Amino acid sequence: MQENPLIDVRNVKKVYHVGTVDVHALRGVDLQIASGDICSIIGRSGSGKSTMLNVLAGLEQVSGGEIVIAGKHLERMTQGELIIFRQKRVGFIFQSFNLMPYYTALENVALPLSFSGVPQAQRTKRAKEMLDIVGLSTHMKHKPSELSGGQQQRVGIARALVTNPSIVFADEPTGNLDSNTSEEVMHVIINIMREQKKTLVMVTHDPHIAEYGDTVVHLLDGRITDITTNAKDSTTLNEPRVRETEGILNA
């Protein structure tokens, strides 16, 4: 057990009531994620990985158990408190990019700052800085339809980071990209996470993408079946890394 993990998941359960049937999406999950860790959650469709991401981000309430992030219990928060929590601590990277089609790249990246009441000049300055970091300084005035899929996802990465969150949640961040573009995007994500010492929790069904994680959590039928630890090394992302299997959990 880690000492003072950033994210501490304790016996978390999630049950959906569908008519007269109870669907158990999470069945007593225990997981700890350290600050600065890159955690991949992998599983096939229906394994509970998307539900796991949603409850960690405070987008859905748990049916049982505790989720403690930076010492705060998410399951005890009101909807208003959860909104403030996400605004201050969380960034999101989506599979489908979720960019505003009539906004430029710069406007898309600056948008989250407007919800926090940041003045326009500061929003623009910060958004320009983030687009420069993801390599899109020459595409700031382009709209999503004028960008490739990889470029759109880079805009999504910049948008996720513009509020300087401590945690980034990524839902199948390369799901709509070809293999070469996926590699490029993952390098951008991982390198920024390392440089800025942020925590990344990423859901994927792709074993290769999952291997970018320092920790790879395997989900099946709402239970963690295995946790694999990779050696951290941001300079050799394409090379095989030493792995240690921590064993079967919640079996």
Domain 34-62+70-245 falls in which CATH fold? Rossmann fold (3.40.50)
CA distances from 111 to 5, 37, 54, 115, 163 (A): 31, 27, 22, 7, 10
Residue 25: the pLDDT is 96
Residue 4: the pLDDT is 82
Structural contact between residues 211 and 182, judged by C-beta atoms closer than 8 angstroms: no
| Domain ranges (residues) in the chain | 34-62+70-245
Residue 122: the pLDDT is 95
Alpha helices in the chain (DSSP H): 49-56, 79-89, 105-115, 120-133, 149-161, 179-195, 207-210
Q: Please tell me the pTM assigned to this model.
A: 0.89
Average pLDDT, consecutive stretches of 10 residues, N- to C-terminus, the chain (251 residues):
85 94 95 96 93 95 96 94 91 94 97 90 96 96 97 96 96 93 95 96 94 96 94 49 42 35
DSSP code per residue over 16-51:
EEETTEEEEEEEEEEEEE-TT-EEEEE--TTSSHHH
